[in-house]
Structure 1
């Protein structure tokens, strides 16, 4: 093979690779748009009247996850299955955002931590790497940490809405989450940096709870709950 033929072959390879990346980007753009739509729906729970609409908003979000599953099914066809990690960076960010949104929906519904398996089911993907398009542990954990920041905001807005008991429940949940992350030996730099932000979320929520306790609102809320 001559030098010219060799580089012509390489150019063909690069062109084919670029076509794959372009196809992937198109699907990822739709996923990003859908993620924004889901977030817009869920953001309304931060409004004073939003707490009463949590079940409705969660149901609407789950409907939009149907679009996510359809687009991810399309995304799976855009690249050779064995080259998942070669193109992973194209969808890593949006997958983390979708994991966060799934975790937030589950928390709003049941005030529990979503499992990695549940997130994968909501997104229509696998957990086991060997089965194909899957949810990495790191992407799942990143989504959970994004949710923690969202919950710290919810704790503050709960007080504005007159729901004084919710920050206490959020505080207990976030403290358990923090304890869980402390068990992990995180060496992934981006994930480690995101985890470092969790201590600020914990502090922010603790300040809200402390303020409620000082003002006696937390006790009043608990008494009302007991009645």
Structure 2
């Protein structure tokens, strides 16, 4: 091979290594923050309804601080190379979406939208060729939220919150209905969608138990 060609190839390899190391450093920090966030949110299962706002207020600043990391990652990615590097932070961003979606539901019972998730994480439209929130990662985050709610519904009843299973049931049914209308070609996403059926069944069993004991009046799903 021509020595000049080899020199150019080496320069390209060194550049790629440099980009990779910068991303790894930021993803490591991303993972640290996500672990803190998930750790705090794990307390929802033993937190009474009256104390929930304070718990959510304590985790929100940590979630919003992830904006610094997304900014740093976006700055490290060369133009038009998002899809080349995205797998390096996919797990981190899915976990962040999960946390944001769970907080959104616990605050006001609403579903976190894709644009709102991007906004919370500080993802800018002008970064789209370097860093964005893919639909697949957003949906993975929503599925993780439903997985967590299927566990939370049991603990809510234990804490005496008998209305929560009804709200979660209607909320999850709506999400499940939405997923059934999506054309899921991603194998991983399709397999995880199947888990929603088991989550919904578990939630409905709790609703049935609570209604059987006449702790609440079950209203038809609209």
Q: TM-score, normalised by structure 2?
A: 0.92
Partner Cα separation in structure 1 for residue 84 and residue 130 of structure 2: 13
- By how many angstroms is 1:161 displaced? 0.8
1:184 aligns with 2:179: no
Name the counterpart of 1:156. 154
Aligned counterparts, 1:24-173, within 5 A: 24-47=23-46, 49-126=47-124, 130=128, 132-173=130-171
1:52-75 Cα shifts (integer Å, max 9, x gaps): 221112112221123200111111
- By how many angstroms is 1:132 displaced? 4.7
Partner Cα separation in structure 2 for residue 8 and residue 138 of structure 1: 39
How many residues are paired up? 219
Cα distance change on mapping 1:86 and 1:21 into 2, 3 Å: same
SS of residue paired to 1:81: coil
Name the counterpart of 1:225. none
1:40-91 Cα shifts (integer Å, max 9, x gaps): 11111110x3432211121122211232001111111112131111101001
**More divergent stretch after superposition (114-123 vs 208-217):** 208-217
- By how many angstroms is 1:37 displaced? 0.8
SS of residue paired to 1:28: helix
Contact 1:145–1:194, Cα closer than 8 Å, also in 2: yes
Partner Cα separation in structure 1 for residue 84 and residue 48 of structure 2: 42
- By how many angstroms is 1:210 displaced? 1.1
1:100-146 Cα shifts (integer Å, max 9, x gaps): 11101100100110111111110000368747522111111111111
Report the structure, 1 or 2, having the larger helix content: 1
1:162-193 Cα shifts (integer Å, max 9, x gaps): 11110111011101111111111111111111
SS of residue paired to 2:89: helix
**More divergent stretch after superposition (207-216 vs 84-93):** 207-216
Partner Cα separation in structure 2 for residue 51 and residue 45 of structure 1: 9
Query: What is the root-mean-square deviation in Å for CA atoms of aligned residues?
Result: 1.9
Unaligned 5+ runs, structure 1: 223-227
Partner Cα separation in structure 1 for residue 163 and residue 178 of structure 2: 23
Partner Cα separation in structure 1 for residue 187 and residue 125 of structure 2: 22
Partner Cα separation in structure 2 for residue 130 and residue 102 of structure 1: 21
Q: TM-score, normalised by structure 1?
A: 0.90
**More divergent stretch after superposition (27-36 vs 50-59):** 50-59
